[in-house]
Structure 1
């Protein structure tokens, strides 16, 4: 299937993309959904993202230009699950623009601590199983908005799901082969609960959400104790946040710092994760290599 380079169509404060008037215009809240939607849409629709590569999406503040650029959208796709805390007001300001929540039907994982305790962990796109639901929801939203191309969207969705499986299944098998006491995923933000659940990993993190308190002494001490108590060999952090707290945990416990994981945003086209498939592959390989001691 032809890979769609959606990153050329980002909403920025510079020149806006030229959208063909006879195509469906789809606006998404962040780059991961934009790339997924672009692959399901193929050539039948144009997809743009409100946030840019590398952006921290939880507390994003939409600009007037974002509103203007999205005002003629035929469809808006958003994650939901309390991820885009800014989205309700953004959509209200747009007026009567159809919107679809691409996480509908996901079995949620609750946040277990912090000020968001009991609320849903919003990072469901990181789950191998949830990814298929995302693709199906995107397919259905595009088909409802543009029935003429429903067959195209359905075919593209099936091909794309096969690509996602091809990336994740070997890594799932590799992680399953590790000794159970090595299957710990220690990160800065608790953004990998769905990946951990699907890959059979136990999870520990410094803070539950990037909108919560981050890197406090209490958080660092708790994780240091957990890493020591469980003899965890490696810790990680996310690409969009300060990695110093995770590096401190590594220094004080003798664990290795395994590197940055990607979750909330894609990179620019020349970066390490310009597509969602790259994000899944690079993040999962980094985890697998770290736990196996083969970085």
Structure 2
């Protein structure tokens, strides 16, 4: 799988379609009559839907289970974008595939990570670039929510009070998830306060909860993990006596299984980051995703799950 990389020829071809479709760009969903808001991936779509309630129609460009980093836009994506009244993206370098044609559309867009304190990637080819996975912190997610409220209130001033009320309720749930994880981590021995995963997608969550983050590769990439990356992870797990390791749903866990075999650590389970599941899957909403990950991390490290609220 790819990441932070785009194919200029393909995107330019898609972008060329913009002029032909913008002319027929309704700003409301044809079936519901609601104003259309488009997001770049499913996590943002779910957050936005929670705030929108029944006033707006929210859709995601990418589908459940898709790897967002290296998504290749299609002609239908540009049609969807031109139909929208607002486009929501994460920013922090996540959706570079989207940047080439969004500027060709006469559609406002908002970067919902605005106001987040970035954490730079520390190693490999992306060293010094901001880690884009800010939504994996429930505290940062509350910043996202406030940015969405502002964007929706500008788009639909009559709904501003409803958006704020929905947001306040949602932020309470996000805070509860954060508090559960902090409480669980506080009781761990030092060596167990380590979150070892395939991708470095948990920097913000680790910072907010006092966990030490370690990963095999910093950002999802096409190539398999290098022996050096796997070896360094094995050394860390052995040295720190970390009880469990994890991997994300959108990548192969083969490399992490090597770490398990070499160290005797448990494979703590699969974590979700870049995409929700379908409605009948384990994480159909963002709250389900973050609760699942917190439960999986805590159970893997301690053997005692938190209680969902």
Q: Same fold (TM over 0.5)?
A: yes
Determine helix, strand or coil for the equivalent of 2:158.
helix
The CA distance in 1 between the partners of 2:253 and 2:101, in whole Å, is: 31
Structure 2 distance, partners of 1:276, 1:214, is 28
Which residue, out of 63, 67, 72, partners 2:78?
A: 67
Q: Tell me which residue corresponds to 2:55.
A: 44
Instruction: Indicate the RMSD between aligned Cα atoms, in angstroms.
Output: 1.5
Q: How does 1:1-295 map to 2 (within 5 A)?
A: 19-20=30-31, 22-93=33-104, 95-211=105-221, 213-294=223-304
The answer to whether the Cα contact below 8 Å between 1:19 and 1:46 also exists between their aligned partners in 2 is no
Post-superposition Cα deviations, 1:7-41, rounded to whole Å, max 9, x if no partner, equal xxxxxxxxxx9545642210000000000000000
Distance 1:18 1:148, change over 3 A: closer
Structure 1 residues 107 and 153: CA distance shift in structure 2, 3 A: same
Q: Is the Cα–Cα contact under 8 Å of residues 80 and 103 in structure 1 kept in the other structure?
A: yes
Partner of 1:11: none
Find the aligned partners of 1:29 and 1:63 in 2 and give their Cα distance.
Answer: 13
Shift of 1:212: 6.8
Q: Which runs of 4+ in 1 moved over 6 A?
A: none
The Cα shift of 1:218 comes to 1.2
Contact preservation (8 Å) 1:206, 1:214: no
- Would the alpha carbon gap of residues 20 and 158 (structure 1) be closer, same or farther in structure 2, given more than 3 Å must change? farther
The answer for unaligned runs of 5 or more in structure 1 is 1-16
Shift of 1:166: 2.4
Contact kept, 8 Å, 1:114 with 1:212, in 2: the verdict is no
Q: Normalising by structure 1, what TM-score?
A: 0.91
After TM superposition, give the deviation of residue 131 of structure 1 in Å. 1.0
Cα-to-partner distance string for 1:150-169 (whole Å, 9 max, x where unaligned)? 11111111111112122332
CA distance in 1, matches of 2:193, 2:139: 19
* Structure 2 unmatched runs, 5+: 1-27
2-structure distance, mates of 1:229, 1:293: 21
Q: Secondary structure at the match of 1:86?
A: helix
